[in-house]
Chain A
Amino acid sequence: MEAGVNLGRRNALKTGGGLGLFGLLTVAGLIRPEIASADWLKAAFEAKTVGEALDAMGALVPESSSAIRLTTPEIAENGAVVPITVESSLSRTEQIFILVDKNPTMLVASFVIPEGTEGYLTTRIKMAQTASVIALVKVNGKFYRASREVQVTAGGC
């Protein structure tokens, strides 16, 4: 019985360690996001800090842009349901990312915006505590950002 439990734990550690290492390598730039292909997004979703998430996405220096309008409540009484809207008037918005800097995992969602679809999204997200909601918009391979702080009364992550 004891052995079985230990084995399970070892395996869990091994698997966890493997993912962590891959993420680290990607973040450290040892594996280029291009080579890691679809796994870069996986790394971004596992990132525990905004820096890690940005690195995994290849978004090194996102510029703040007034062309992105991020609408959030100032105070969210229920962190389990925080409505947010991202509106980008940047021409040919290719992708939209939503991050929360103090959540256990930063990256909430990523969207691919095909030609013909507007740079507009409304959704509801979970927030663990008072934090900044960050919207990243990718245009022509470059990232732009907008962020807003939301006071969370009761965390819901």
Chain B
Amino acid sequence: MTSPTKIRASVKDGVTEVRVLMQHEMENGRRKDEVGSLIPAWYITEIKAQHNGKIVLEGRFGTAVSKNPYLVFRFRGGAVGDKITLSWLDNLGETRSDEGAIS
């Protein structure tokens, strides 16, 4: 079960700023639960952001990205209404892709 990524994007002076908030535990595999057993690693390993289908950012994460990863990035171009897609893949092979629009 995964929750949708929140995507906000706005364009100003020809530059689009995208803010994304992914919903993920980002467990590093070294933490223990109340009874002392290790909580298995569970974290996003790859992300990809697209603007109308064109890749505008690609990233790889280790375990030290905070829970519910937050990213802000900027690219040149973009117009109100354009589609922004953010997809991720985690170490357990789960994927998720969400869409937002430039406002």
Contacts and interface: CB of A to CB of B under 8 A. Distances in A.
A60 interface: no
Given A117-B74, A123-B71, A111 B57 contact: yes
A42 B47 CA distance: 15
Interface size class of A (residues with CB under 8 A): 20 to 34
A51 B62 CA distance: 17
A41 B73 contact: no
A148 B45 CA distance: 25
Interface string B25-69: 010101000000000000000000000000111111111111101
Nearest to B78: A116
Nearest to A82: B66
B37 to A, nearest CB: 15
Interface residues of B, number: 26
A32 interface: no
Contact of B66 (A114, A117, A126): A126
Nearest to A97: B60
Contacts of B77: 116
B92 interface: no
Interface in A105-157: 105, 107-114, 116-118, 120-127, 157
A121 B57 CA distance: 10
A20 interface: no
18 contacts: A103-B64, A104-B28, A105-B62, A105-B64, A107-B62, A108-B61, A108-B64, A110-B59, A112-B58, A114-B55, A116-B75, A117-B57, A120-B74, A121-B72, A122-B73, A123-B65, A123-B66, A123-B69
